[in-house]
Amino acid sequence: MEGTNTHPAVSGGPSLPMNSLWRTIRGYILWNYERGTLHYDVMVTLILLFVFLSPYAINFKDKPVERVPHQTGVVIQPDAKGGGFIYQIEASAISAKDDAAIREQLVEIIEPIAGAVAIQKYEPVRDRTGRVLGYKVWIEKE
C-alpha cells in the first residue's frame, strides 16, 4: 500500500486559461490592479460608460420636484413708509367671506413666513370689473 496514491485525480476541473479568466474577473471585482495598468484603465472605462450611458438605457424615474415659487400666492414688498412690509396674497388662497374669517386666514398664511403677527389693516385688490384678485395686508410683529 505504500505505492498507492490516496488522493484521486481531479478530472473535469477548469483548465489553465479559465483559471486566468476568473482571476482577472476577481481582480476587477476586488479592485486589485494598480493605477496605470491596462486592467485599471479597463475598469475606469467601464465605470465611465455606465455613468454616461445608463441614463439612456435605464429609467431611474428621477425627476426634479416641481416647485411653485409662491405656493399660496404671497408677494412681500417693503412698505412705502419704510417701517415694515406689505404682504400681497392671492384671492384664491382665501375662502372666507366675513371680515373676521378673512383676517384669520390671512394670519394663517403670513405667520409661517413672518412669525407671530397682528394685522394692522388689509384691503382687497380688485380688477376693473370689481372682482377681488388679492389682498394687501399691513402687519405688525408681535
| More confidently predicted of 53 and 12 | 53
107 lies in the same domain as 133: yes
Q: What is the 3-state secondary structure (H, E, C) of the chain?
A: CCCCCCCCCCCCCCCHHHHHHHHHHHHHHHCCCCCCCHHHHHHHHHHHHHHHHHHHHCCCCCCCCCCCCCCCCEEEEECCCCCCEEEEEEHHHCCCCCHHHHHHHHHHHHHHHHCCEEEEEEEEEECCCCCEEEEEEEEEEC
Per residue in 16-50, pLDDT tens? 678 888 888 888 888 888 898 998 999 999 999 99
82 lies in the same domain as 131: yes
Residue 62's pLDDT is what?
A: 82
82 lies in the same domain as 135: yes
What's the pTM? 0.49
In a domain, 133, yes or no: yes
In a domain, 32, yes or no: yes
Residue 33's pLDDT is what?
A: 85
The whole domain housing 24 covers: 16-57
